[in-house]
A and B are shown apart, each in its own frame.
Chain A
Amino acid sequence: MTTEQNPQIYSDATQAKGQAIIELTDVDKFFGDFQALADINMNVGLQEVIVVIGPSGSGKSTLIRCINRLEKHDRGTIVVDGIDLSDDIKNIQEIRRETGMVFQSFNLFPHLTVIDNITLAPRQVRHESKKDAEDNAMALLERVGIPEQARKFPGQLSGGQQQRVAIARSLAMKPKVMLFDEPTSALDPEMIKEVLDVMVELAEGGMTMIVVTHEMGFARAVADRVVFMSDGYIVEVGTPEHFFTNPQEDRTKLFLSQIL
């Protein structure tokens, strides 16, 4: 039990380098009696890429969903870009505008075309003009490699294309942080790469990212730090080299042996 409450420091990578943009302090989260997050302490630095791994039910998704208040944490503090996440709806909206999120099931709006999906929030929230929003949307579609699909409906696209639209949609709000909630888990194997490529490019462009994923190749190649969670606790934090070559905790070793 001691290791659960006090995650050990195994490398100098536990703390974010430079200025922290997300700070979680002593965060607890309950679903009824079930503790989904326990004593979470974590910093994310500017332009850092964090990959969160762990068995299902370990609280990975809950962790990032608490950061933009899709779930409400019960104890502790969450600070995003200097804004303290409180019950104040203005605070919440402000944080949500600075954090983009990509979902496992894409969650595109099926009644809108691709370009309308992307321009909806900028038009509604940032009150961009139609032309500006559409120019920006086309540039983003260009960037994720599917400008020719702009006038189609989500139902006409493949899973990989849909997820790339979802990424473009998030980026249209010009967020400072991107949260990815198992972005490739619902995809057919041949489409995973096209989505990961976009994410790699995004990381190389200096985007701050927290990625919940089972793609160990992505973690190894892109992550600055890997966070291993189990039963709501952060069990181990370290650089990818540390993580995949020299894990310390038994549960980390067990998990890695099961998936690698």
Chain B
Amino acid sequence: MTTTAPAPPQQSSLDWVKKNLFRNWWSGLITVVLLPLTLYVAYRALRFLFVTGQWDAVRVNLTLFMQGTFPRDEQWRLITQIMIFALAFGIGLGTNSAASRDRAEDAGLVVERGSVAGTLARMWSLVAFIALLLFFATTDDVGNFINPFLVVGGSMVIAGAGYQARRLPRRFRNVGWLLTMTFLVIGFQTVSGFDAGGWVPLGIVYGISVYSIAPVDRFDATWLRIALRLVGAGVVVLGIRAIYAVVDTPGIGWDEWSGLHLTLMVSAIAIVLAFPLGLLLALARRSTLPALRMMATAYIEVIRGVPLITLLFMGQFILGFMMPAGTLLSAITRAIAVMTFFSAAYIAEIVRGGLQALPKGQTEAGQAMGMAPPPIMRRIILPQALTAVIPAMVGQFISLFKDSSLLSIIAVLEFLGVRKIIHAQEAFRGVGIAETLVFVAIGYWAFAFAMSRESQRLERRLRVTR
């Protein structure tokens, strides 16, 4: 395999076959056995997809797969929500990648440039899934056509538009993540309604933002800096509370969600909540305080030793008894809580691995300059440790996404669970069971594969600046 010649010798396709398929007698034998087998399996799969499959169960119930039993009159909320999330996602990605690209280019590094075609090629599994949706939808009524087309296609276009935020001048880019957060919360409110509780997430997001960007550097006393930041954050939170008191309307909560929409939302919410929790657990497990360390260790080891399905059942049956009467949490809320606490234990172990992999000299360099432990952690250790564990972290996110299918067992109608309603219908009782399963499998695969490809690229990008 060592071709040291300046130009590699031209290879004919016959050479390639000889070299790779019939290198010696046993590789030839393997080829002779496996090649027909592969072709046969592919033939059967394609035949099932395009000829023998009874896809009506999927075709007729496409909307059910997408949004489940969410009230049809309110489906504009779902579509709007996805669009707003797509916008938030695009802006966040755009401003972020522009910032790291500028830093790398300042350093004289060559940066790989993205393009629409490149993004679509990377996301080919999602593109294929959309094509499949359209393939099923076009033959049916317009309502079904509009739904997947608007939701998936439209949100991609809008995400692309949001991504153009990377063209913002540098000094405006800091507002990028503020915009992202705003749209994330507003997107959430679109579905749950702008009800009285809505000020809490928006208030928290803006409170944290104001706290972290408050220009209080000129004050020397630490307590004064913290106090001023808290006051600023508090004023913002109260302001948002006041606005919400005015626009208070009853809405539709996540208890009504189902279908692919619920699958995506549950995964996203659990990921967003589990990440900080896991981070704190990892830090607690490395703490010098024995009580904290032991509690974190016990939590992590207990959760990791119990199957998720057991925890989900416990969440449904035991949590209800432990809560005070009258505070009944919905099945979905409890499921999200269990998924969050479950993932946090695994994320904690991943983060701990990243922390341990860092050389001790990094901490010592910070210490030697008189930095206190919190800034050392925040500015020196965590940025490096978290970058190092991106592949493992995305792997955890993907398995969380797939594990959300277990919710179907506890009577939550997510993407897989929707099949129960479908096959309870008169027309599809015992009909198209394989087809709906295959459709769900393709849906899961499309998202999981896209996530994995994106993580590979993210990893490459971040390594540029190493």
Contacts and interface: CB of A to CB of B under 8 A. Distances in A.
Interface of A: 68, 70, 93-94, 96-97, 99-101, 103, 105, 107-111, 113, 120-121, 123-125, 127, 129, 151-153, 155-156, 169-170, 173
Contacts of A93: 370, 372
B384 interface: yes
B171 interface: no
Interface stretch (B59-67, B105-113, B137-145): B105-113
Contact of B371 (A94, A103, A125): A125
Given A97-B370, A113-B106, A153 B380 contact: no
Contacts of A107: 359, 361-362, 364-365
Nearest to A114: B107
Contacts of B225: 127
Contact of A156 (B107, B220, B379): B107
B216 to A, nearest CB: 9
Contact of B367 (A96, A108, A109): A96
A156 B109 contact: yes
Given A109-B380, A111-B383, A129 B365 contact: no
Contacts of A151: 106-108
Interface of B: 103, 106-109, 217-220, 225, 359, 361-362, 364-372, 375, 379-380, 383-384, 387, 465-466
A156 B107 CA distance: 9
A173 B369 contact: yes
Contacts of B365: 101, 103, 107-109, 169
B361 A105 contact: yes
A152 B364 contact: no
Given A113-B103, A129-B218, A153-B465, A100 B368 contact: yes
B370 A111 contact: no
B369 A100 contact: yes
B368 A70 contact: yes
B226 to A, nearest CB: 13
B107 A169 contact: no
Contacts of B372: 93, 125
17 contacts: A68-B367, A101-B365, A107-B364, A107-B365, A108-B365, A111-B384, A121-B366, A121-B371, A127-B218, A127-B219, A127-B220, A151-B107, A152-B107, A152-B108, A155-B465, A169-B369, A170-B369
Contacts of A96: 367-370
B370 A110 contact: no
Contacts of B368: 68, 70, 96, 99-101, 103, 170
A96 B370 CA distance: 5
A111 B367 contact: no
Contacts of A94: 370
Contacts of A110: 384, 466
A94 B108 CA distance: 38
Given A68-B368, A103-B365, A155-B466, A124 B375 contact: yes
Contacts of A100: 368-369
A253 B200 CA distance: 74
A70 B369 CA distance: 11
B421 to A, nearest CB: 49
Contact of A70 (B364, B384, B387, B466): B364
Given A111-B383, A153-B107, A70 B370 contact: no
A175 B171 CA distance: 34
A93 B222 CA distance: 14
Contacts of A113: 103, 106-107
Contacts of B219: 127
Nearest to B372: A93
Nearest to A101: B368
A94 B372 CA distance: 11
A68 B368 CA distance: 7
Contacts of B364: 70, 103, 107
Contacts of A70: 364, 367-368
B336 to A, nearest CB: 33
A127 B217 CA distance: 6
Nearest to B105: A151
A109 B362 contact: yes
A82 to B, nearest CB: 17
A97 B369 CA distance: 6
A129 B106 CA distance: 22
A137 to B, nearest CB: 13
A111 B358 CA distance: 12
Nearest to B378: A124
Nearest to B379: A120
Contacts of A120: 369, 371, 379-380
B28 to A, nearest CB: 47
Contacts of B387: 111
A108 B367 CA distance: 13
B316 to A, nearest CB: 43
Contacts of A129: 217-218
Contacts of B109: 153, 156
A125 B384 contact: no
A140 to B, nearest CB: 13
A119 to B, nearest CB: 11
Given A70-B367, A100-B368, A152-B107, 8 more contacts: A94-B370, A97-B369, A111-B466, A120-B380, A121-B366, A127-B217, A127-B220, A153-B107
A61 to B, nearest CB: 12
Contacts of B383: 111
Nearest to A93: B370
Contacts of A121: 366, 369-371
Nearest to B225: A127
Nearest to A179: B368
A47 to B, nearest CB: 21
Contacts of A169: 365, 369
A125 B103 contact: no
Contacts of A173: 369-370
A105 B371 CA distance: 19
Nearest to A124: B375
B371 A124 contact: yes
Contacts of B217: 123, 127, 129
B252 to A, nearest CB: 43
A111 B379 CA distance: 10
B108 to A, nearest CB: 7
Nearest to B366: A121
Nearest to B369: A121
Contacts of A156: 107-109
